Structure 1
């Protein structure tokens, strides 16, 4: 057999092998495409919450009255919009002393006098000033996730939550609608303490809004303690 014939045979074999390789690669690409198609996520789909929520900001400007200092930041009613908001505002630990964040069901203002709040009270967690950089942001996030995630059996009783940044120590509170609904209050408090992963020495106390408005001293008696 001549060199030309051998060369031609080798070329035909090479072409055949190349064709087979192309087919194999195409099969692999088709398989990868199928696998990718299965994993495609549609980011236009949002996951609705049980109700709409509104975030508020209070700035302690002594030249204005209390209501003028409270500003609505934004409202949301999906999980994705909650995270979009939370990730684009300052952490609570970076707020100035005397300022607050509040998260309430849309339509309820973060004030005792609101019709949805006036008969209720709050579960209160007090944090030492040194805990601001360690625990404050984690506890605040865990608390509001309980709200938006509908973590309580008695979520209908929950009005909102507030974080206060103060010189002597910060506070996180979850507000409820009816201070006379003992079973619901206790269920909410126990679930909140569980989700906040509080050490044994830290307690939650439940206070009635009416007592806070009428108090004559700096200490308000707790109706329940956990």
Structure 2
């Protein structure tokens, strides 16, 4: 893995903490994670490859971390960035999201960084709330560079059918000019209900 949070200096961690403590509070905290997916890995192997970057709870905390880590297109192919609500790990075995599901967007590489950032801001700003069924929420988001089009995934904690139906419209609007000027239509937007193997990454 080319990027590792273990290489953060104490000064960097202190900067994250200082910015986060002075920021505008979010509804919940969120955690950035990074990992390199390997087919056939066990739950233990996957968990060992998963590295926590930082947990923030304010707008300024988000920007402090986001602006410091490498851009998503600089990750090795099939590596992942995850942004998870609170400090959940991106694992379907988590009881809070074990019945969840995902929406997947394939983005042209030239657009991935922009679409990823706008979806992150929509998630931490709870802009999807009005599109979700009662009791459901956005559990997290993931991005992964691929050989051709890149993959962005939006995980729902309960995957209630009403949420799955409405999330399509919300995600499409978030990635179109209707909400964010100049953003492209995703290459593909499909429902992917959760049916994951043990130890697999959440989205």
For Structure 1 versus Structure 2, the TM-score category normalised by the shorter chain is: 0.7 to 0.9
Using the TM superposition, name which of 144-153 and 185-194 deviates more.
185-194
Q: Structure 1 residue runs of 4+, over 4 Å off? A: 60-64, 198-201
Q: Which residue of 1 aligns with 2:114?
A: 138
- Aligned-residue CA RMSD in angstroms? 2.6
Q: Which residue of 2 aligns with 1:121?
A: 101
Q: Which residue of 2 aligns with 1:109?
A: 89
State the shift of 1:122 in Å: 0.3
Q: Which residue of 1 aligns with 2:175?
A: 196
Q: Which residue of 2 aligns with 1:93?
A: 73
Asked if the contact 1:146/1:192 (under 8 Å) is kept, the reply is no
Q: Which residue of 2 aligns with 1:171?
A: 151
CA displacement 1:56-81 (0-9 Å, x = unmatched): 01035799811111000000000000
Unaligned runs of 5+ residues in structure 1 are: 1-43, 215-226
Asked whether 1:150 is paired with 2:126, we answer yes
Between 1 and 2, higher relative CO (CA 8 Å, sep ≥ 6) is seen in 2
The 3 A distance-change label for structure 1 pair 98 and 148 is: same
Distance 2:38 2:186 in 1: 35
Q: Higher helix proportion, which one?
A: 1
Q: 1:206 aligns with which of 188, 191, 200?
A: 191
The 3 A distance-change label for structure 1 pair 213 and 85 is: same
Q: 1:82 aligns with which of 53, 59, 62?
A: 62
Q: Which residue of 2 aligns with 1:54?
A: 31
- Which structure would you say has the larger Rg? 1
SS at 2:168 equivalent: helix
Please report the TM-score for the alignment, with normalisation by the length of structure 1: 0.66
CA displacement 1:11-34 (0-9 Å, x = unmatched): xxxxxxxxxxxxxxxxxxxxxxxx
